[in-house]
Amino acid sequence: MAEQLLLLIEFLSVFLIMVWLTIGFSLIYRKRRLKQLLKIEVTFAEEIGKFLYPSEGKDYHFLKVQRALQKAGAKPSKKGNIQYLIDLMIRAQRSMLGENYSRLQVLFSQIPPYRASLSKLNSRKWYIKARGIREIYEMEQVQYIKEITRERNNPNIFVRREAQIAMVVFLGWESLRFLPYLKREMTLWQQIKIVEKLFAHYPEAQIKYLQKSYATQRPYAQELLMRIIRKFNLFTEVGYIISFLDHKDFDRRETAIYCIKSFRLTGEQLEEVKSKLFKIDNTEQQVQLLRYVQQVSGTPDLEFYKKILKSKNDILELSAAEILWNSGYEQLVHEFYYSQYATGVALKEVI
């Protein structure tokens, strides 16, 4: 028994020594690692400053930046350091505007981080591949557009999302020509990201590329086009949105109703919207569209509202009656409900 206890104590002692050695090694490694990363970060900041703001009459050559970073530890053999450099480059680009942003683009194209981001596209792990694509378009390394385009139909949603965003960043409005060739579903989040990137990088609309995409029959592509029209406030293209208000697909109708609310229509367009309201087979969407018609109309179209009151849809009738009542047409509402009940007593009970 005493021997077993002695063995247990020896085992625990050895285990504790190993634990403390591991902790000590980890602390030393982390301290050295942080010191290395800090050196790279300080060198990066100093060299970028010298490149953007050189001494008067002297240009600071990009090779000096490259050599300084290599000396600080950003070498091809040290992948962790290269990854940290990539993160610094992306952060620097996000914080720059105007001429400095353009100069950084030129510099980063001349000191590529040893194709580190491109090599990630060969990984079998989706998150590594997606990260590589993001790094490429964040640093605007347009020379890799061909490799990225191949991933636009990747089975993994995150990889193809990043690839599609990269295409928008690099190609702008011209990237819309790929919409008919996308084979997989595009989520709402993907659509929003693409619209935001397009607006951020190419705020001037190029209608010819948009109109060429109208031929696509892909549901997600049609929804994306409607969101682009809304984001860029393209009044001349609002007819495309109106055409989907009575579509047989619920989601495309929902997108069209959401997007149309950003526009004030002409009289002719408003009449078209009114006619489409009666073709929608969802009451909630009909009410949404009715509220929109009320908002953009000057004075209520009595014939239109009378037609709704005879639609035999209780919820739609109540919405129309509420609008008329609030617009000062109480008598018209009274007449409608009087006609629905045989006696005044029955009407009073309903009211």
**Token couple for 16:** 């504790």
The more confidently predicted of residues 207 and 35 is 207
State residue 347's pLDDT score. Answer: 47
DSSP string, 117-144: HHHGGG-SSHHHHHHHHHHHHHTT-GGG
- Distance of alpha carbon 130 from its chain centroid, rounded? 15
Residue of 99, 85, 87, 90 whose CA lies nearest to 51: 99
The more confidently predicted of residues 97 and 143 is 143
Q: In sequence order, which ranges of 243-279 are alpha helices (DSSP H)?
A: 250-260, 267-277
Contact 72, 40 (CB under 8 A): yes
Cα distance between residue 20 and residue 14, in whole Å:
10
pLDDT greater than 90 at residue 52: no
pLDDT greater than 80 at residue 342: no
- Kindly report the number of other CB atoms within 10 A of residue 107's CB atom: 19
Q: Is the pTM of this model over 0.95?
A: no
Cα distance between residue 160 and residue 329, in whole Å:
55
Range 158-165 average pLDDT:
92
Range 106-113 average pLDDT:
72
Cα distance between residue 148 and residue 171, in whole Å:
12
Contact 40, 92 (CB under 8 A): no
How would residue 97 be classed by pLDDT, with cut points 50, 70 and 90? confident
Which of 71-85, 144-158, 297-311, 337-351 shows the lowest mean pLDDT across its residues? 337-351
pLDDT greater than 80 at residue 112: no
Residue of 75, 5, 77, 3 whose CA lies nearest to 40: 75
**Token couple for 70:** 């290599």
Contact 309, 320 (CB under 8 A): yes
Cα distance between residue 335 and residue 179, in whole Å:
53
Contact 308, 281 (CB under 8 A): no
What average pLDDT is seen over the chain?
85
When mean pLDDT is compared over 26-35, 87-96, 281-290, the highest value belongs to: 281-290
Which of 56-70, 199-213, 263-277 shows the lowest mean pLDDT across its residues? 56-70
Percent of the chain with pLDDT over 70: 95
Cα distance between residue 149 and residue 66, in whole Å:
29
- The domains of the chain are located at 39-114, 115-221, 233-298, 299-351
How would residue 295 be classed by pLDDT, with cut points 50, 70 and 90? confident
How would residue 349 be classed by pLDDT, with cut points 50, 70 and 90? low
**Token couple for 132:** 């590589």
Range 316-329 average pLDDT:
84
